[in-house]
A and B are shown apart, each in its own frame.
Chain A
């Protein structure tokens, strides 16, 4: 059974810092990995999707890496801004495409 763990559970940083969020999963037989953002009371917004054959994906100030063999992914946020404050969720997809989620990292970027 796939299990996804996200560390840390919460993170508070001053504006402008670069930061890394971590995600690990127990079963390396994944199809892809997605990072989502969730704002309070809102739905999930997909940030980046990495296929199992890829090592990383970049979008603006975000960079996600994937090491499938070790069961790890990181989300790097450069030059953080208060608007980046949200809960960040990592989810892995198996062959059936259903997503298995971690419990999230709650990020606060202080002005």
Chain B
């Protein structure tokens, strides 16, 4: 069974540009989570999808971040326009509805210059 995959693995962009991160959860996992770790800080929750619906987006830092999960399969997280403080590692995790363990992807390392 394939694990959670994320694309790209690394992204270097300039301040003001747009970046879109993608997450493919494990097949059949209705729950999808986005987290991020900024430099020197702990991993923080961003938002939670159940299928295509946003269940909780209380961790989204501001309206420059837009997450979608059309069709309830893969998800994208767009940052527009990117700022320096958005640099960090963005993790995606998924889990089935009847289990508690979240399975994490390898993360996307974003550097905004």
- Residues of A in contact, count (CB < 8 Å): 25
Q: Assess whether B41 is in contact with A99, with CB atoms less than 8 Å apart.
A: no
Among candidates A34, A43, A46, residue contacting B105 with C-beta atoms closer than 8 Å: A43
Main secondary structure of the interface of B (DSSP, over half): strand
CB of A59 within 8 Å of the partner chain: no
Cα distance A41–B109 in the bound complex, in angstroms: 9
Interface residue tally of chain B, by bracket? 20 to 34
Q: Assess whether A96 is in contact with B56, with CB atoms less than 8 Å apart.
A: yes
Give residues in B with beta carbon < 8 Å to A. 4, 31, 33, 35, 41-45, 48, 55-56, 59, 91, 93, 95, 100-107
Kindly list 16 other residue pairs between chains A and B, CB separation below 8 angstroms, not including A89-B43, A98-B45.
A4-B42, A34-B101, A41-B106, A46-B101, A96-B56, A97-B100, A97-B102, A98-B33, A98-B48, A98-B59, A99-B43, A99-B93, A101-B35, A101-B43, A101-B44, A103-B41
Sorted from nearest, which 5 A-B pairs have the closest CB atoms?
A44-B104, A43-B106, A101-B43, A98-B45, A103-B42
